[in-house]
Amino acid sequence: MNTIRHSTALMTDMYELTMIESALHSGYARRRSVFELFARSLPGRRRYGVVAGTARALRAVEDFRFGREEIDYLRAAHTVGEETLRWLENFRFSGDIWGYPEGECYFPNSPLLTVSGTFAECVVLETILLSILNYDSAVATAASRITIAAHERPCLDMGARRIHEEAAVAAARACVIGGFAGTSNLEACRRYGIRAIGTAAHSFTLLHESEPEAFAAQIKTMGTGTTLLVDTYDVRKGVENAVRAAKEAGGSLGAVRLDSGDLVAQAFQVREQLDSLGATETKITVTSDLDEYSIAALNAAPVDSYGVGTRVVTGSGQPTAQMVYKLVSREDSAGIMREVAKKSVSKATHGGLKVAGRTYGENGKAAEELIVAAPNREAGLAYLKARNARPLQVELVAGGKINPEYTAPESLSRAARLHRDSRAALPYPAWRLSEGDPAIPTVLKDICEESGGE
């Protein structure tokens, strides 16, 4: 039996449970159903999105169990009745989940997760799946844009102090998927094997009687390869003190960090000063509320790496991916699966199970996101194959059993590699930071309608 690390069952909205209660009374709770998680559009009119949080979501599904404490709370709060509590007490997700693997780029209406099972067991997962994928994907998308702007220069996550403590851990993981090289958050490093980074803040310098004393103390414990923060007082004097401290310790300084002022001008001045002092191998890293636009502005400056905080962990202005979770197919009274869809103005959906693929042009770049509404997955895959479209979805959960490939420790590095490849295969407009249309169009085909069937 799997050990529950921490129950995620109450990390949900109340109406998920009240819907189950009403469906139990109507007799429809056990109707076979298909739910789809997708985004109607890309927030901020960005050119693409990045899937992140899948492994965390799968773990959350695994831990979605109503134990004694959860049941006792719901009973005391009179949230639902005894019949529903009995159903919840025995809940184990037994359905199937297909979805885009972490790191894959996505576009409007991409079926990022397709959850199949009974209505009750699928609907109860809505909130937890959305909360994880909405946040992680927003951060990964911001991180991806930031690493585009950085042009292969390392980007490092320093945003832990700007958000909720658990969100900081999730953000660090999502940043790696988007291309970041490390994080200052040690819990994220422990959980996910991410490279830890960090040396000292201004308070360390202020603690000492002088800047040279502070630098000497840091070098004594961290070695000359450390990074010294040189703008607590005067930058020019700080660089001089930093280089001298490393030389006196018998080595060359690893890097200096700039955290304020005109970073472009300072980077040029500091590079010139470092070279004049013989510290030609000493690198320059910059911090100070950076985002993709400020980093792009630093492209011509002699900067070697970037420390990014507030902006990346808040999605760089888009803190949610605005994904939704909708019922697209359900069993009728005769046991036949039927497409269902909302008709609401501006919030209409397209019914039916979807299978997704991506087509490519002669230049090898992605051409379109092909979404096929099909009577079953096999028919959809056959349609994609006939059009030379690369299938995008993988089987994440089968019969309630999670595929360990997508939750294993190495899944993070695999997701980062997949993202690099997926992004590299997008056409040039995808790399633009300006607002615009999605890099490739989403084309929806309903082969049930084309064949005249249900």
Pair (157, 293) in one structural domain: yes
What percentage of the chain reaches a pLDDT higher than 90? 94
pLDDT at residue 453, rounded to an integer? 41
Pick from 1-10, 328-337, 404-413: least confident: 1-10
pLDDT tens per residue across span 303-355: 999 999 999 999 999 999 999 999 999 999 999 999 998 887 777 888 999 99
Pair (313, 333) in one structural domain: no
**Helices 411-424 and 165-177, interaxial angle, to 10°?**
50
pLDDT tens per residue across span 251-283: 999 999 999 999 999 999 999 999 999 999 999
Dihedral angle sign, alpha carbons of residues 286, 288, 293, 294: negative
In a domain, 24, yes or no: yes
Pair (284, 152) in one structural domain: yes
pLDDT at residue 450, rounded to an integer? 52
In a domain, 7, yes or no: no
pLDDT at 66 over 60: yes
HSE-up of 352 (CA within 13 Å, CB side)? 21
C-alpha distance from residue 340 to each of 39, 57, 336, 351, 372 (Å): 18, 25, 12, 5, 15
Domain containing residue 231: 140-317
pLDDT at residue 136, rounded to an integer? 98
For 210, the 3-state DSSP assignment is coil
Nearest residue to 454 (alpha-carbon basis) of 293, 334, 337: 337
Pair (95, 56) in one structural domain: yes
Residue 227 near residue 285 (C-beta atoms within 8 A):
yes
> Which of 286, 317, 348 delimits the end of a domain?
317
- Sheet containing strand 394-398, edge to edge, reads 337-339, 323-331, 32-39, 113-118, 96-99, 394-398, 401-402
For 367, the 3-state DSSP assignment is strand
CA pair distance 286, 272, nearest whole angstrom: 16
pLDDT at residue 175, rounded to an integer? 98
Average pLDDT, the chain: 95
Report the amino acid identity of residue 454.
E
Nearest residue to 45 (alpha-carbon basis) of 438, 371, 448, 332: 438
Residue 383 near residue 445 (C-beta atoms within 8 A):
yes
Report the amino acid identity of residue 85.
L
pLDDT at 18 over 70: yes
**How many domains would you assign to the chain?**
2
pLDDT at residue 341, rounded to an integer? 87
Nearest residue to 302 (alpha-carbon basis) of 274, 260, 342: 274
CB atoms within 10 A of CB 169: 23
In a domain, 164, yes or no: yes
Pair (333, 445) in one structural domain: yes
Pair (242, 332) in one structural domain: no
**CATH number of the CATH domain containing 288:** 3.20.20.70
For 401, the 3-state DSSP assignment is strand
pLDDT tens per residue across span 123-169: 999 999 999 999 999 999 999 999 999 999 999 999 999 999 999 99
Query: Where residue 451 falls among pLDDT bands split at 50, 70, 90?
Result: very low
> Which of 317, 347, 378 delimits the end of a domain?
317
Pair (118, 169) in one structural domain: no
In a domain, 196, yes or no: yes
The strand pairing partners of 391, in sequence order, are 357
Pair (305, 378) in one structural domain: no
Query: Where residue 4 falls among pLDDT bands split at 50, 70, 90?
Result: very low
Residue 301 near residue 264 (C-beta atoms within 8 A):
yes
Name which residue leads in pLDDT, 342 or 24: 24
Name the DSSP letter for residue 373: E
Query: Where residue 2 falls among pLDDT bands split at 50, 70, 90?
Result: very low
In a domain, 4, yes or no: no
**CATH number of the CATH domain containing 440:** 3.20.140.10
CA pair distance 325, 157, nearest whole angstrom: 30
Pick from 1-5, 118-122, 316-320: least confident: 1-5
CA pair distance 364, 358, nearest whole angstrom: 11
Query: Where residue 100 falls among pLDDT bands split at 50, 70, 90?
Result: very high
Give rounded-to-5 percent helix, strand, coil for the chain.
Answer: 40, 20, 40
Pair (149, 280) in one structural domain: yes
pLDDT at residue 454, rounded to an integer? 38
For 158, the 3-state DSSP assignment is coil
In a domain, 245, yes or no: yes
Structure tokens that stand for 32 in this block: 């076979």
In a domain, 401, yes or no: yes
In a domain, 9, yes or no: no
Pair (70, 190) in one structural domain: no
Residue 196 near residue 184 (C-beta atoms within 8 A):
yes
Query: Where residue 452 falls among pLDDT bands split at 50, 70, 90?
Result: very low
For 36, the 3-state DSSP assignment is strand
38 phi-psi bin (left φ>0, alpha ψ -120 to 50, beta other): beta
pLDDT at residue 5, rounded to an integer? 57
Average pLDDT on 289-305 reads 96
Structure tokens that stand for 206 in this block: 């202020």
Find tokens 């996910």 and name the residue: 192
Beta strands 113-118 and 305-308, pairing class: unpaired
> Which of 258, 293, 317 delimits the end of a domain?
317
Structure tokens that stand for 154 in this block: 């390392």
CA pair distance 31, 345, nearest whole angstrom: 27
Find tokens 């962990």 and name the residue: 313
Average pLDDT on 37-43 reads 97
CA 419, 416, 44: angle at the middle one, nearest 5?
Answer: 50
Pair (146, 193) in one structural domain: yes
Query: Where residue 410 falls among pLDDT bands split at 50, 70, 90?
Result: very high
pLDDT at residue 449, rounded to an integer? 58
Pair (118, 161) in one structural domain: no
Cβ partners under 8 Å of residue 277, min gap 6: 239, 240, 243
Name the DSSP letter for residue 163: S
